[in-house]
């Protein structure tokens, strides 16, 4: 009778051992060594264990039996033995995570926080099952390309088909991507900061960093289960370093994200698709012969569309299910009080005089225009700037006296016409309102002003840290009727529960105006959004509102269109600078109005161009 | 796994790791982790190596885990820690898909890998003189992964008698129905093994392989078709370009790129099956088979 199970099991007879040729790794390890990690097949699908045999003419079978090898070692050493309930739980976990079907979307049951929109889900499905994980996501701006990419990535991660991921985006979007992947998808992405970050499984980096040495060589030596590139239209030119670099990367699945797949030339689209799937549109010559009529004109449209449809998805706002609610824009004309008007006139005169003197020094000229804009916002805003300005000039100079004369005019102002009007609007609305201003000082003033009148208002600004921002948003949702915000950009501000916006003053960069509105007017907003633009008569503000609202009607433009228009208009100089120059160079209000109208016309022309060139 | 199943699973985990439950409600638990669970879940390798080296009394962490399925409209930010009786309690949502549950899954995978167990003999089954024969079985849980550009998995819980080489395909099910103990029961004798452990394993693998071979390979044929399609696409793109290349260097560069694209396609589409062992153990069961 042999009653020692260990002893008995440990007697593995040698001849048998060598007969089973596959068992080599474990037996060569001395028993005292720490256990090697289980050589699980990596996600790249290249099992660590050498192939054993064919299951089918097309299919090889790989075997990973590391827990069994561990069992042998434990028998040899007489334990230790694991707990039976943990053994069963390990199985239960595997059972729960098992992917029982090739096709059913797995990621959603792991993302209870997330409710993607129907077009986002459909896009993810098509990328996964029809396009086999290589696609151009070309939705119009604001429809959630990032969500679609996140869904595809999550699905591959959950299925264990992807482990190593490289995400290349413009530098300004790196942190936003990291936050969104982690917050919405529970994907632990790392922002590339130091060289060793590259060894993390999921890295988000800027294209500019990635393509530079020493990073470049490192990345080209690696293999990526998935490559995602945001703003991929920047890869349209195949002669650029970026294009070559992306072409040289080794990747399995690949997503290119762009809202504007074609800007100037059909060959740009061809280059983009060639990066993804060389040959999809034939060889270079074939493409020109088969599909190109003129630079921007395609021929054999149907065939081209069919070929494109296999690699590119473009959801449009006009596709029906993506209806946005309406925007209702009201201009609220105001007349400054005599004291405020006096200050405005004083500052305007001062600005003109200084502009003559500073001619050529663009930076100081721009700051002068800011002064004028600030008067239209609040005395608090202009006060600070004047004080700072006075510190920069010698106390005995006439300039110093001039500045202080303006500061004294501020003292005469007892009320803020705009703030009072805003109060009226808010009382009329009797609902949540977000008030945007460009200036910190105005923001502080407004919060005080509202508080004195028994209205609870919370601030929101760019300088706040993440936690504080979340807290302010939460306060606004639950408690306060009003939020006064200086920052419109930045992800994570979702204010769909509010549908009234007051533009206390307007940025001169239309994209920033659009961002403000976009915080509220986005997918998920169920109400029509009302927008109030406060506009002081007889000031530069009036001109700006005229340009943005009456002339180009930007408030009612299709989201995304504005970006394309600005890209064309702002070739050499930003709109903001153009406007500042016009303001300083015009002799009088009439001339200014005329020149701003011309600028508006060129924007309208750009808009018509954009519409003509829309790929259908 | 739904919220109830997750809760049950987590509580079972806490119990098997010897963690101390401070209080629990219908959908939450506050727990002070055992050293074992703390090592597995709190990601504090430096702290634990300090404890191991100095022999200091370990201070494990306390969590409050909420099992309510999260509200999709709430922000996913973690709630702030509670401080109670001077101890920091970290709050966590634990749901299927959460990082915390993922960690627990990983931890049970490590902690439930190899077992050695005996079936408890039914009471009064053997007199003081009679001794019951027990057979050793090798029980193995396999995961078969079918993979091309997509993926699917199957699990098998099989066992083989080390005495006779008989294979039981429902072995896991059989184990779930009996009472097992880590100690050798009295009045039991173990039969001599007719098979070495390795030979038994090989036979089990062969049995699984036979099963896999008889499956439908339509998926693999389709994947291979896609693979050949893709290869043809890059071929008609690169071959003419390589032929027309102006210089030898250009042709070389193109060839290199062509080769890379071909490798990528193979990597993505080639159908393959991986058979991996999830966990396994030796089970001594009454009977002579």
Residue of A600, A603, A605 lying closest to A550 (CA atoms) = A600
Cβ pairs bridging A and B (under 8 Å): 282
Q: Is the pLDDT of residue A323 over 70?
A: no
Q: Which 462-521 residues of chain A touch chain B by CB within 8 A?
A: 470, 474
Cβ-based contacts of B227 with chain A (< 8 Å): none
> In chain A, whose CA is at the least distance from the CA of B107?
A90
| CA–CA separation, B208 and B210 (whole Å) | 5
Which residues of chain B, if any, have pLDDT below 70? 69-87, 124-129
Is B196 in Cβ contact with A11 (below 8 Å)? yes
| CA–CA separation, A424 and A502 (whole Å) | 12
Q: Which 518-577 residues of chain A touch chain B by CB within 8 A?
A: none
pLDDT value at residue A13: 44
Chain B: nearest CA to A299, how far in angstroms?
Answer: 21
Asked if B267 contacts B148 with a C-beta cutoff of 8 angstroms, the reply is: no
Q: Is the pLDDT of residue A558 over 90?
A: no
Is A112 in Cβ contact with B96 (below 8 Å)? yes
A68 vs B: CB within 8 A: yes
Q: What residue spans define the domains of chain A?
A: 5-97, 115-319, 327-331+414-613
pLDDT value at residue B71: 55
The confidence band for A48, taking pLDDT boundaries of 50, 70 and 90, is very low
Q: How far is CA A342 from CA A119, A504, A542, in A?
A: 55, 20, 17
Asked if A145 contacts A176 with a C-beta cutoff of 8 angstroms, the reply is: no
pLDDT value at residue B156: 94
Rounded mean pLDDT, A146-173: 91
pLDDT in tens, A177-208: 898 898 889 888 999 887 778 888 999 999 98
Question: Which of A3, A98, A278 has its CB closest to that of B234?
Answer: A278
DSSP per-residue string spanning A377-402: H-HHHHHHHHHHHHHHS-TTSHHHHH
| CA–CA separation, A476 and A520 (whole Å) | 13
Which residues, 6+ apart, have CB-to-CB distance to B186 below 8 Å?
Answer: none
- Residues found in chain A: 616
Q: How many CB atoms lie within 10 A of CB A85?
A: 14
Cβ-based contacts of A45 with chain B (< 8 Å): 147, 267, 270, 272
What is the four-CA torsion angle of A277, A283, A287, A290, rounded to 10 degrees?
Answer: -120
Cβ-based contacts of B5 with chain A (< 8 Å): 96
Asked if A102 contacts A294 with a C-beta cutoff of 8 angstroms, the reply is: no
Matching residue, tokens 């089954």 = B125
The confidence band for A489, taking pLDDT boundaries of 50, 70 and 90, is low
pLDDT value at residue B69: 65
> In chain B, whose CA is at the least distance from the CA of A275?
B261
Is B114 in Cβ contact with A70 (below 8 Å)? yes
Is A93 in Cβ contact with B108 (below 8 Å)? yes
Is A20 in Cβ contact with B199 (below 8 Å)? yes
pLDDT in tens, A491-521: 556 677 899 999 999 888 887 888 788 888 8
Cβ-based contacts of A474 with chain B (< 8 Å): 75
% of chain A at pLDDT higher than 90: 26
Q: Is the pLDDT of residue A478 over 90?
A: no
pLDDT value at residue B131: 80
pLDDT value at residue B223: 92
pLDDT in tens, A139-159: 877 788 899 999 999 999 988
Packing angle between helix A266-276 and helix A241-248, nearest 10 degrees?
30
Rounded mean pLDDT, A594-614: 84
DSSP H helical segments within A310-431, as ranges?
338-358, 362-377, 379-392, 398-412, 417-429
Is A89 in Cβ contact with B13 (below 8 Å)? yes
| Helix, strand, coil fractions of chain A, as percent rounded to 5 | 50, 10, 35
Average pLDDT, chain A: 82
Is A59 in Cβ contact with B184 (below 8 Å)? no
Is A253 in Cβ contact with B268 (below 8 Å)? yes
Is A61 in Cβ contact with B273 (below 8 Å)? yes
| CA–CA separation, A142 and A140 (whole Å) | 6
> In chain A, whose CA is at the least distance from the CA of B17?
A86
pLDDT in tens, A564-597: 788 778 777 888 888 888 888 887 888 888 998 8
Rounded mean pLDDT, A456-473: 84
Q: Is the pLDDT of residue A453 over 60?
A: yes
Question: Which of B69, B196, B267 has its CB closest to that of A252?
Answer: B267
> pLDDT: is A296 or A380 the higher one?
A380
Cβ-based contacts of B224 with chain A (< 8 Å): 58
Q: Is the pLDDT of residue A433 over 90?
A: yes
Rounded mean pLDDT, A397-405: 86
What angle is formed at CA A523 by the lines to CA A518 and CA A528, rounded to 5 degrees? 75
Chain B: nearest CA to A273, how far in angstroms?
Answer: 12
Is B184 in Cβ contact with A3 (below 8 Å)? yes
> In chain A, whose CA is at the least distance from the CA of B181?
A84
pLDDT value at residue B127: 59
> In chain A, whose CA is at the least distance from the CA of B192?
A2
The confidence band for A15, taking pLDDT boundaries of 50, 70 and 90, is very low
Do the domains spanning A115-319 and A327-331+414-613 agree at the CATH topology level? Answer: yes
> In chain B, whose CA is at the least distance from the CA of A116?
B72
Q: Which 72-101 residues of chain A touch chain B by CB within 8 A?
A: 72, 74-75, 79, 81-101
Cβ-based contacts of A65 with chain B (< 8 Å): 201, 205, 276-277
Quick one: tokens of A508?
A: 């001169």
Q: Is the pLDDT of residue A401 over 80?
A: yes
Whether domain A327-331+414-613 has CATH 3.40.50.300: the reply is yes
Chain B: nearest CA to A457, how far in angstroms?
Answer: 21
pLDDT in tens, A91-139: 999 998 888 888 888 888 888 778 888 899 999 999 999 999 999 998 8
Chain B: nearest CA to A115, how far in angstroms?
Answer: 7
**ipTM more than 0.95?**
no
Is B261 in Cβ contact with A17 (below 8 Å)? no
| CA–CA separation, B233 and B158 (whole Å) | 44
> In chain A, whose CA is at the least distance from the CA of B253?
A248
Question: Which of B99, B271, B279 has its CB closest to that of A186?
Answer: B99
Whether domain A115-319 has CATH 3.40.50.10810: the reply is yes
pLDDT value at residue A175: 85
| CA–CA separation, A602 and A191 (whole Å) | 40
pLDDT value at residue A511: 79
The confidence band for A264, taking pLDDT boundaries of 50, 70 and 90, is low
The confidence band for A398, taking pLDDT boundaries of 50, 70 and 90, is confident
DSSP per-residue string spanning chain B: --HHHHHHHHHHHHHHTTPEEEEEETTEEEEEPPHHHHHHHS--HHHHHHHHHH-PPP---EEEEE-SPPPTTS--PPPPPEEETTEEEEEEE--TT-HHHHHHHHHHHHHTSEEEEEEPPPTTSS-SS--EEEEEEEEEEEEEEEESSSEEEEEEEEEEETTT--EETTHHHHHHTS-EESSPPSSEEEPPPSS-HHHHHHHHHHHHHHHHHTS--HHHHHHHHHHHHHHHHHHHHHHHHHHH-SSHHHHHHHHHHHHHHHHHHHHHH--EEEEEEEEEEEEEEES--
Sign of torsion, CA B20 B23 B25 B27?
negative
The confidence band for A391, taking pLDDT boundaries of 50, 70 and 90, is confident
In this prediction the pTM is 0.72
Question: Which of B197, B263, B275 has its CB closest to that of A9?
Answer: B197
Cβ-based contacts of B192 with chain A (< 8 Å): 2, 8
pLDDT in tens, A325-380: 788 888 899 998 998 999 999 988 888 888 777 766 767 777 788 888 898 999 89
Cβ-based contacts of B284 with chain A (< 8 Å): 5
> In chain B, whose CA is at the least distance from the CA of A188?
B99
Rounded mean pLDDT, A15-21: 38
Chain A: nearest CA to B22, how far in angstroms?
Answer: 22
Tell me which of B70, B229, B242, B267 to substitute to probe the interface with A (most A C-beta atoms closer than 10 Å). Answer: B267
Tell me which of A88, A274, A310 to substitute to probe the interface with B (most B C-beta atoms closer than 10 Å). Answer: A88
A428 vs B: CB within 8 A: no
Q: How many CB atoms lie within 10 A of CB B63?
A: 25
pLDDT value at residue A136: 94
What angle is formed at CA B241 by the lines to CA B238 and CA B246, rounded to 5 degrees? 145
> In chain A, whose CA is at the least distance from the CA of B99?
A186
Cβ-based contacts of B78 with chain A (< 8 Å): none
Question: Which of B141, B147, B157 has its CB closest to that of A45?
Answer: B147
Q: Which 259-298 residues of chain A touch chain B by CB within 8 A?
A: 274, 277-280, 282-284
Asked if A522 contacts A496 with a C-beta cutoff of 8 angstroms, the reply is: yes
Question: Which of A82, A90, A109 has its CB closest to that of B96?
Answer: A109
């Amino acid at each position: 009778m042999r009653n020692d199970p260990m002893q008995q099991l440990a007697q593995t007879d040698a001849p048998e051992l060598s007969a089973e040729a596959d068992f080599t790794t474990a037996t060569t390890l001395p028993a005292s060594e720490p256990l090697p990690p289980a050589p699980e097949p990596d996600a790249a699908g290249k099992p660590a264990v050498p192939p054993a045999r064919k299951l089918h003419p097309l299919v090889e079978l790989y075997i990973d039996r590391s827990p069994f090898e561990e069992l042998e070692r434990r028998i040899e050493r007489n334990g230790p033995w694991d707990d039976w309930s943990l053994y069963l739980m390990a199985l239960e976990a595997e059972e729960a995570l098992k992917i029982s079907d090739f096709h059913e979307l797995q990621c959603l049951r792991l993302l209870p926080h997330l409710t993607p929109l129907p077009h986002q889900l459909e896009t993810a499905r098509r990328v996964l099952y029809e396009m086999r994980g290589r696609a151009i996501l070309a939705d119009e701006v604001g429809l959630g390309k990032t969500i679609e990419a996140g869904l595809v990535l999550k699905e591959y991660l959950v299925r264990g088909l992807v482990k190593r991921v490289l995400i290349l985006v413009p530098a300004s979007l790196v942190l936003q991507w990291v936050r969104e992947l982690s917050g919405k998808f529970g994907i632990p992405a790392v922002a590339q900061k130091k060289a060793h970050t590259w060894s993390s499984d999921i890295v988000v980096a800027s294209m500019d960093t990635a393509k530079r040495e020493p990073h470049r060589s490192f990345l080209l030596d690696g293999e990526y289960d998935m490559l995602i590139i945001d703003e991929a239209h920047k890869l349209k030119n195949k002669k650029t370093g970026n294009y070559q670099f992306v072409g040289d990367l080794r990747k399995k699945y690949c997503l290119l994200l762009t809202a504007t797949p074609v800007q100037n030339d059909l060959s740009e689209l061809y280059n983009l698709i060639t990066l993804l799937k060389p040959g999809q549109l034939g060889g270079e010559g074939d493409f020109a012969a088969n599909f190109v009529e003129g630079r921007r004109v395609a021929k054999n449209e149907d065939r081209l569309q069919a070929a494109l449809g296999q690699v590119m998805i473009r959801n449009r706002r006009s596709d029906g299910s993506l209806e946005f609610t309406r925007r209702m824009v009201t201009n609220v004309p105001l007349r400054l009080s005599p004291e405020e008007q006096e200050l405005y006139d004083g500052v305007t005169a001062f600005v003109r005089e200084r502009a003559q003197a500073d001619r050529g020094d663009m930076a100081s000229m721009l700051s002068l225009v800011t002064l004028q804009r600030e008067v239209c916002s609040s005395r608090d805003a202009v006060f600070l700037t004047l004080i700072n300005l006075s510190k920069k000039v010698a106390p005995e100079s006439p300039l110093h006296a001039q500045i202080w004369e303006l500061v004294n005019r501020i003292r005469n102002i007892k009320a803020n016409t705009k703030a009072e009007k805003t109060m009226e609007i808010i009382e009329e609305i009797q609902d949540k309102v977000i008030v945007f201003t460009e200036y910190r000082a105005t923001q502080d003033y407004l919060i005080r002003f509202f508080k004195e009148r028994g209205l609870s208002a919370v601030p929101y600004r760019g300088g706040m840290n993440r936690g504080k921002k979340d807290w302010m948003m939460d306060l606004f949702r639950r408690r306060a009727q009003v939020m006064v915000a200086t920052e419109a950009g930045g992800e994570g501000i979702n204010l769909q529960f509010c549908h009234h916006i007051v533009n206390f003053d307007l940025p001169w960069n239309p994209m920033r105006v659009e961002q403000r509105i976009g915080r509220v007017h986005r997918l998920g907003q169920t109400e029509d959004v009302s927008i109030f633009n406060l506009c002081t008569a007889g000031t530069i503000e009036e001109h700006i509102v005229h340009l943005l609202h009456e002339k180009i009607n930007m408030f009612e433009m299709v989201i995304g269109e504005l970006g394309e228009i600005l890209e064309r208009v702002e070739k050499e100089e930003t709109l903001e600078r153009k406007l500042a120059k016009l303001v300083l160079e015009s002799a009088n209000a009439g001339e200014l109005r005329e020149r701003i109208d011309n600028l508006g016309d060129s924007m309208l022309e750009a808009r018509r161009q954009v519409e003509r060139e829309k790929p259908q | 796994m739904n919220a109830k199943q997750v809760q049950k699973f987590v509580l079972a985990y806490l119990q098997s790791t010897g963690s101390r439950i401070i209080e629990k409600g219908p959908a939450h638990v506050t727990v002070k982790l055992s050293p074992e669970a703390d090592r597995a879940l709190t990601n504090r390798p430096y702290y634990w190596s300090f404890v191991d080296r100095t022999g200091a009394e370990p201070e494990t962490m306390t969590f409050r885990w909420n099992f309510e399925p999260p509200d999709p409209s709430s922000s996913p930010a973690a709630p702030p820690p509670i401080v109670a009786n001077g101890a920091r309690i970290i709050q966590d949502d634990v749901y299927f898909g959460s990082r915390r549950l993922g960690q627990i899954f990983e931890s049970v995978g490590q902690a439930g890998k190899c077992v050695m167990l005996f079936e408890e003999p039914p009471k009064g089954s053997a007199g003081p003189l009679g001794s019951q024969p027990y057979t050793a079985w090798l029980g193995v849980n396999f995961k078969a992964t079918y993979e091309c550009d997509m993926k699917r998995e199957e699990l098998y819980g099989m066992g083989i008698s080390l005495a006779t080489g008989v294979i039981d395909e429902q072995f896991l099910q059989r184990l779930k129905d009996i009472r097992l103990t880590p100690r050798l029961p009295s009045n039991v004798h173990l039969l001599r093994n007719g098979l070495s452990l390795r030979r038994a394993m090989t036979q089990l693998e062969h049995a699984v392989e036979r099963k896999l071979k008889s499956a439908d390979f339509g998926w693999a044929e389709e994947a291979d078709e896609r693979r050949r399609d893709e290869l043809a696409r890059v071929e008609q793109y690169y071959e003419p370009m390589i032929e027309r290349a102006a210089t030898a260097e250009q042709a070389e560069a193109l060839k290199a790129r062509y080769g890379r694209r071909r490798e990528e396609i193979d990597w993505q589409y080639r159908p393959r099956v991986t058979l991996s062992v999830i966990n396994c153990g030796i089970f001594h069961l009454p009977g002579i088979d």
